[in-house]
């Protein structure tokens, strides 16, 4: 068995792994990334948030993604219950707020190749099987190459970016918990020749609620991604009525008048894909010598298209924390506390918004006012819909990571968790009960106590890192 050594070992080359590796590689650290697949590989998660632009600039991948010709996205059009929301990012947050709708096979490959260009040693077809610890600190990983040969690598720091596999949280530490409230299934397929609903901003995602779930309708460069999300029990009950998954999916899509309209001239291309039980959270996202970034730490229902944002955002903050700790600019505990706090905060805020939409939706005005309470007072917008858009573009997270007093706004999240802990309000609960205990538990953790956070900010120059103000 061959044994090698690296300063930072990254498991997984999705958006989280490629981003954290590229940023650390750019800062001059010795980084090795092990990826199980050989890219390009298929992945769901196509609709990106505006936050990706600044993060891609910091990882060195922006120009390469820009050159790939993905469809530009400038907002969303949401039909939820009886409301229609047209969220035009340029009008609501910033004229430069846009992103892309991407083919993830191509997007993820660009990010992985970019990591290699930033000096990262990238090995594809490399599956991490086992992590060994010195106390609570991971120090060695065993992995197998495509031909099955076992290899060992030692490291000073480990970043788990293994996505839903959660190598650390699920396979080694047993600290991952499913969300009782989002026991959903998603089914989706691709169509050519479709169009967007009238009134959609350029390249917008369309989100359409139904009595028992919701559809996404996403314009990619050459086709549309059309998916349906519902509770897995609802889906299982209906399933025997159809001879195949494809027949079931087509019946759901064709049963919706709005979709029939935009797919009237469109052609469906098999196969239909499905995923279920994808919402969970780990009890903690970091520990001595390790962080969990992206889906390896937590995943939230895809209603607000937050997955890649949280993956790349946690990767950026994780890279800042690891870099500062390894360069001796900040003690590791403190740097990791900042990572833990910011990632939990971003995740919890999105969780509150998604949960509210599923469970206690009382119309868009109440919903937007609630968003107003969840942003930092310095960045709060005068009009509630703007605060909401600021959050759901991921821009509030990025801006707030550079604020010395990140605690502001967290109180509202904690109150929300306490409120839900005392019992949800009822409302439209067709997707199952809402359980906010995961948020509540996150904020009771000593790692996220307020005093740990005082005055720490993320900076991106002269090098990405953390500073004590
Ligand atoms: C139905 C559905 C719809 C979604 N829609 C959206 C959307 O519109 N927009 C959005 O932003 N997000 C969406 N998401 C979420 C998005 O797919 C994920 O959040 C995102 O891919 C997370 O990135 P990641 O890098 O953390 O993980 P991944 O992209 O999953 O990457 C993890 C990588 O780790 C590798 N790996 C796993 N185990 C090992 C191992 N043992 N050794 C080595 N490598 C390993 C895998 O091969 C993989 O390449 C959706 C998710 C679902 C389920």
Please give the pLDDT value at position 450: 55
Count the Cβ atoms, other than its own, within 10 Å of residue 8.
25
Burial bucket for residue 189 (CB in 10 Å: 0-12, 13-18, 19+): buried
The CA-to-CA distance between both ends of the chain, in Å, stands at 47
Provide the sign of the torsion angle of the four alpha carbons 385, 365, 88, 392, taken in this order.
positive
Q: Could you tell me if 15 and 312 are in contact, meaning their C-beta atoms sit under 8 angstroms apart?
A: yes
- Contacts (Cβ under 8 Å, ≥6 apart) of 77: 84, 85, 86, 87, 196, 197, 199, 200, 201, 204, 205, 206, 207
The preferred substitution site among 311, 346, 393 for testing ligand 1, maximizing ligand atoms within 8 Å of CB, is 311
The preferred substitution site among 162, 273, 305 for testing ligand 1, maximizing ligand atoms within 8 Å of CB, is 162
Q: Which tokens in the block code for residue 146?
A: 């495509």
Closest to 166 in 3D by CA, of 134, 128, 115: 128
459 pLDDT band, cuts 50/70/90, is very high
421 pLDDT band, cuts 50/70/90, is very low
Per-chain mean pLDDT for the chain: 88
Q: Could you tell me if 176 and 48 are in contact, meaning their C-beta atoms sit under 8 angstroms apart?
A: no
| φ, ψ at 245 (rounded to 5°) | -60, -40
Distance, CA of 258 to CA of 171 (rounded, Å): 43
Look at ligand 1, atom 26, and give the residue with the nearest C-alpha: 294
Q: For the whole model, what pTM was predicted?
A: 0.94
Burial bucket for residue 250 (CB in 10 Å: 0-12, 13-18, 19+): middle
Q: Could you tell me if 20 and 310 are in contact, meaning their C-beta atoms sit under 8 angstroms apart?
A: no
433 pLDDT band, cuts 50/70/90, is very low
For 200-231, what is each residue's pLDDT tens digit? 999 999 999 998 899 999 999 999 999 999 98
Closest to 29 in 3D by CA, of 391, 463, 432, 447: 463
Distance, CA of 73 to CA of 75 (rounded, Å): 6
426 pLDDT band, cuts 50/70/90, is very low
The preferred substitution site among 11, 20, 45, 305 for testing ligand 1, maximizing ligand atoms within 8 Å of CB, is 45
Distance, CA of 235 to CA of 226 (rounded, Å): 17
Q: Do you know the residue count of the chain?
A: 469
**34-38, 198-202, 375-379, 385-389: which range is least confident on average?**
375-379
Please give the pLDDT value at position 432: 36
Three-state SS at 246: helix
Ligand 1 centroid to Cα of residue 2, in Å, is 29
Ligand 1 centroid to Cα of residue 139, in Å, is 25
Please give the pLDDT value at position 452: 60
CA dihedral of 153, 158, 159, 161, whole degrees rounded to 10: 40
The preferred substitution site among 160, 172, 307 for testing ligand 1, maximizing ligand atoms within 8 Å of CB, is 307
Pocket lining for ligand 1, CB < 6 angstroms:
11-17, 34-37, 43-48, 127-128, 161-165, 167, 186, 275, 278, 294-296, 299, 302, 305, 307-309, 311
Please give the pLDDT value at position 353: 83
Find the mean pLDDT for residues 333-350: 89
Residue listed under structure tokens 């960045």: 379
Cα→Cα distances 468→43, 87, 340, 400, 465, Å: 38, 37, 16, 15, 10
Q: Which residue has the higher pLDDT, 61 or 450?
A: 61
Ligand 1 centroid to Cα of residue 165, in Å, is 9
Please give the pLDDT value at position 388: 86
For 35-68, what is each residue's pLDDT tens digit? 999 999 999 999 999 999 999 999 999 999 999 9
pLDDT higher than 90, residue 424: no
Ligand 1 centroid to Cα of residue 37, in Å, is 12
Ligand 1 centroid to Cα of residue 260, in Å, is 30
Distance, CA of 457 to CA of 468 (rounded, Å): 7
Please give the pLDDT value at position 374: 72
425 pLDDT band, cuts 50/70/90, is very low
Closest to 225 in 3D by CA, of 183, 177, 189, 187: 189
Find the mean pLDDT for residues 287-295: 97
Q: Which tokens in the block code for residue 130?
A: 């086992």
Look at ligand 1, atom 32, and give the residue with the nearest C-alpha: 163
Cis omega (within 30 of 0) on the bond before 40?
A: yes
**Beta strands in 29-148, from DSSP E residues, in sequence order:** 31-35, 71-73, 75-80, 83-88, 99-101, 121-124, 127-134, 137-144
């Amino acid at each position: 068995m061959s044994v090698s050594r690296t300063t930072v070992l990254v498991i997984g080359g999705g958006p989280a792994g490629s981003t954290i590796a590229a940023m650390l590689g750019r800062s001059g650290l010795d980084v090795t990334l092990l990826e199980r697949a050989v890219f390009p590989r298929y992945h769901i998660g196509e609709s990106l948030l505006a936050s990706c632009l600044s993060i891609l600039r910091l990882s060195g991948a922006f120009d390469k993604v820009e050159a790939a010709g993905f469809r530009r996205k400038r907002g969303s059009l949401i039909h939820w219950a009886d409301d229609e929301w047209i969220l035009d990012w340029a009008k609501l947050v910033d004229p430069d707020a846009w992103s892309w709708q991407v083919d993830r096979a191509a997007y993820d490959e660009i990010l992985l190749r970019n990591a290699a260009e930033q000096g990262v040693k990238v090995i594809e077809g490399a599956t991490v099987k086992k992590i060994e610890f010195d106390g609570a600190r991971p120090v060695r990983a065993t992995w197998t190459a495509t031909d099955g040969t076992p290899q060992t690598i030692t490291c000073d720091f480990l970043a788990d970016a293994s996505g839903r596999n959660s190598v650390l949280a699920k396979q080694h530490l047993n600290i991952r918990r499913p969300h009782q409230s989002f026991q959903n299934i998603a089914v989706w397929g691709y169509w050519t020749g479709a169009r967007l609903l009238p009134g959609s901003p350029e390249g917008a995602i369309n989100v359409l609620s139904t009595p028992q779930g919701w559809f996404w309708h996403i314009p990619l460069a050459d086709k549309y991604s059309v998916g349906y999300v519902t509770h897995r029990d609802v889906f299982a009950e209906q399933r025997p009525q159809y001879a195949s998954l494809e027949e079931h999916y087509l019946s759901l899509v064709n049963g919706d008048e709005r979709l029939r309209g935009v797919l009237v001239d469109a052609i469906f291309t098999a196969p239909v894909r499905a995923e279920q039980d994808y919402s969970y959270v780990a009890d903690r996202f970091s520990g001595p010598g390790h962080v969990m970034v992206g889906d390896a730490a937590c995943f939230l229902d895809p209603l607000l298209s937050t997955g890649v944002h949280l993956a790349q955002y946690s990767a950026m903050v994780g890279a800042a924390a690891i870099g500062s700790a390894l360069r001796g600019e900040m003690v590791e505990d403190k740097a990791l506390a900042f990572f833990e706090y910011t990632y939990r905060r971003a995740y919890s805020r999105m969780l509150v918004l998604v949960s509210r939409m599923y469970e206690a939706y009382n119309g868009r005005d109440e919903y937007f006012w609630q968003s107003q309470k969840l942003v930092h007072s310095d960045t709060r917008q005068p009009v509630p819909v703007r605060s909401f858009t600021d959050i759901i573009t991921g821009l509030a997270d990025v801006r707030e990571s550079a604020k010395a007093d990140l605690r502001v706004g967290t109180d509202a999240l904690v109150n929300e968790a306490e409120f839900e802990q005392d019992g949800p309000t009822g409302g439209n609960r067709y997707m199952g009960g809402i359980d906010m205990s995961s948020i509540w538990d996150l904020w009771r953790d000593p790692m996220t106590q307020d005093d740990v956070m005082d005055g720490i900010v993320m900076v991106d120059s002269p090098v990405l890192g953390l500073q004590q103000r």
